[in-house]
Amino acid sequence: MPALINKIALVTGASSGIGRATAKLFAAEGAHVVVTARRHEELEKLVAEIAASGGKAMALAGDVKDEAFAQSLIAAAIRSFGGLDIAFNNAGALGEMGPTTHVSLNGWTDTIETNLTSAFLGAKYQIPAMLDRGGGSLIFTSSFVGYTAGMPGVAAYAASKAGLIGLTQALAAEFGPRGIRVNAILPGGTDTAAAQAMIGTPEGRAFVEGLHALKRISTPEEIAKSVLYLASDASSFTTGTAMLVDGGVSINRT
């Protein structure tokens, strides 16, 4: 039986990469999916692909930094599908990189707002909708960067991703008694537009692959399978975790 039958899910950052792969997997597993990001055309293509495979999805484009938009996503989920059970808060960006002493306050603030404040805003409106249905599952995309690895030049990104783990734990403790599970997923290097921008050259890619015990980076589809685990009842006793799905980049020393 499909893992998410009769479930309603929201996926942010669904226009590409990990979010796109996860939205497709959620729909294939029976969920009705609300997909969001800023690039409307990409979302419409995704909705069409899901529909062509027999799934159900609707798109609403906007910016995850916008509180009114966070609220309107929940209204759309309720209007279109009747509620909300699962929220994959995945939108994120590396933001302004470089020596921390040169990072602008605007660059710092934008990265924190895109990656961390957005998650707070999401949860603020997702949780009441889930409580109305007796519980649910929230998942945040954090990273091994800022948790098991310190890397130069990405201070705001690392701080935002570490902050997501604190948010995960606080929400898990606060809403566990009411049937809501909250977990963070921590991907290793994953072959998406964001990673390509950081990796750059073929030599850069070989270097990054070599950092992982498995000597490769992940596909977005591999990460999506772990998100499905956290979204589904297969993880019914899992909450408050920071789950590494990182090909061993955190433990590898060769």
Q: Where do runs of H (alpha helix) occur along the chain?
A: 17-28, 40-52, 67-81, 105-112, 118-132, 155-175, 193-199, 202-211, 220-231
- Interaction between residue 216 and ligand NAP (CB under 6 A): no
Helix (H, G, I), strand (E, B) or coil at 134: coil
Shortest spacing between CB 21 and ligand NAP, in angstroms: 8
Segment interacting with ligand NAP (CB under 6 A) among 24-32, 63-71, 77-85, 175-183: 63-71
- Interaction between residue 18 and ligand NAP (CB under 6 A): yes
Separation CA 110–CA 132 (nearest Å): 32
Separation CA 67–CA 118 (nearest Å): 8
- Interaction between residue 39 and ligand NAP (CB under 6 A): yes
33 - beta bridge partners? Answer: 9, 57
Shortest spacing between CB 130 and ligand NAP, in angstroms: 21
Separation CA 234–CA 241 (nearest Å): 15
Among 3, 76, 162, 194, binds ligand NAP (CB under 6 A): 194
Asked if residue 212 lies in contact with residue 168, where contact means CB atoms within 8 angstroms, the answer is no
Shortest spacing between CB 15 and ligand NAP, in angstroms: 4
Among 8, 17, 119, 180, binds ligand NAP (CB under 6 A): 17
- Interaction between residue 232 and ligand NAP (CB under 6 A): no
How many C-beta atoms surround the C-beta of residue 46 within 10 A? Answer: 24
Closer CB to ligand NAP, 90 or 232, in the complex: 90
User: Catalytic residue at 157?
Assistant: yes
By annotation, the residues acting in catalysis are 157
Which spans of this chain sit near ligand NAP (rule: CB under 6 A)? 13-19, 37-39, 42, 63-65, 90-93, 114, 141, 143, 187, 189-190, 192-195
